[in-house]
Amino acid sequence: MDTLGKLELLSQQMALEPAEDADTLRPPATPAPTPDHALREPGPGYSAAEPGRHGRAPCGHSPAELHAAMQAVTQDGGDPAPDLDRKRHSLGVSYAAMPGGKRIALLKTLLTSACERDCYYCPFRARRNFRRATFKPDEMAAVFSQMNRSGAAEGLFLSSGVAGGGVRTQDRLIDTAEILRRRHQFRGYLHLKLMPGAEHDQVLRAMQLADRVSINLEAPNTDRLRRLAPHKVFLEELLQPLQWAHEIRRTQPARTTLFGRWPSLVTQLVVGGAGEDDLEILSTTAHLTQQLRLARVYFSAFHPVPETPLEDLPAENPWREHRLYQASFLLRDYGFELEDMPFTPQGRLPLDADPKLAWARTNLSETPVEVNRAERPALLRVPGLGPKGVDVILAARRHGKLRDLRDLRALGVLADRAAPFILLDGRRPAHQLALF
């Protein structure tokens, strides 16, 4: 199998890794309220532009057409083909959101889709019968470097199936990163996966080379992980590398890294595959973001894969994934606590309501917030006011009172969304009541 064929084969399941995907915090197709932060912070969710999601084929073109379109890209010094944007998704390239909002073309791929683990939900599980592909470290580094020089990909997200144990697989991932950084002088964005069972020194070396490192916890705790991946060990294999990474960032000087700064940390949880409730998921999320300082937790709604033990389990409602993202941002950026979340008696978030709006209807309808006097934490709890909007309001208050919804609109705030829960100079602003 040639290089392009390998990349195309590996790309078909990379939608399972939503990390850094841009323009995908959009709600699912079914109408529902839009979260405040959806207008300001990109993140994963569901997007028609995302290849491979929900079992869709990643590309409608034949391998021969793809090879012709990409031939120039994989030649040293070659120019991207005119229809590159349409076809490079087939190789695993998608648009990704960087800190600060910059978008880059990110190659998301694997060193190998061969895996000795037998996780119940995973398309790469050991006992599943499908065609697999493998790159050697120098081969992967070379093909990505060619794509980078030609403009087909600006950054790399590199993971792998576990082959020969987690330690040996991690060594190959690190070898690839070192070849890229040293031999090919690549200085762009690199997200490097940590393998289950990786050793402390491997975590350190990955952090010295990468802009972001991650390991997928998959489930919120040991009991739930047994239902998804019974041969993985939650605390020692999965959580411990994240704890090591946090400790390294806290205690060791960043000057040993390539760019003089430690990488960000993220993880991912599968939603709906192990019978877990939202309280379990968000309890783990709060610990990871508040105690271990993870940049964020990604959620992946469960979808059954043929020839896996969970193939008869129904797909999870995508709105559940979306509500979890909304709630996770409230915990990370808005000062909310777990007990503030509008959980049902079953420990679930309601699917028909934004959790921030649901909280405000209960807590602010009779005690609205005075925009001209409230401190930042109180303003952040008002629907329609995100962190940037609150900062703008605080700055505007130094120059005079805000007396009308038009004043808020002029600041770029979602004034009509905030109107039922605020006072402006001691008065409730006039607003149109929602019909539903």
pLDDT in tens, 265-281: 999 999 999 999 999 99
Tell me the average pLDDT across 405-426: 95
φ, ψ (nearest 5 deg) of residue 108: -110, 115
pLDDT band at 61 (very low <50, low <70, confident <90, very high): very low
Q: In the chain, helix, strand, coil percent, each to 5?
A: 40, 10, 50
pLDDT at 288 over 50: yes
CA 385 and chain centroid, separation: 23
Share of the chain above pLDDT 90, in %: 73
Task: State the pTM of this model.
Answer: 0.84
Averaged pLDDT, 296-324: 95
Residue 4, token pair as written in the block: 């392009």
Please give the CATH number for the structural domain made up of 3-340: 3.20.20.70
Whole-angstrom distance, CA of residue 406 vs CA of residue 424: 11
Q: Give 431's pLDDT tier (boundaries 50, 70, 90).
A: low
**pLDDT average, residue stretch 88-114:** 87
SS3 400: coil
Checking if the pLDDT of 100 tops 60, the result is: yes
Instruction: State the Cα–Cα distance between residues 379 and 388, nearest whole angstrom.
Output: 11
Given a cut of 50, is residue 301 above it in pLDDT? yes
The structural domains of the chain, with segments of one domain joined by +, span 3-340, 364-423
Grade residue 4 by pLDDT with cuts at 50, 70 and 90: confident
Give the model's confidence band at 80: pLDDT under 50 very low, under 70 low, under 90 confident, else very high.
Answer: very low
Q: Taking residues 17-37, what's their average pLDDT?
A: 60
- The rounded distance, in Å, linking the Cα atoms of 421 and 365 is 6
Distance separating alpha carbons of residues 311 and 305, to the nearest angstrom: 5
Crossing angle of helices 166-178 and 137-150, in 10° steps, is 40
With beta carbons less than 8 A apart as the criterion, state whether 307 and 251 touch.
no
Q: Per-residue pLDDT averaged across 217-246, rounded?
A: 97
Q: What was the pLDDT predicted at 153?
A: 94
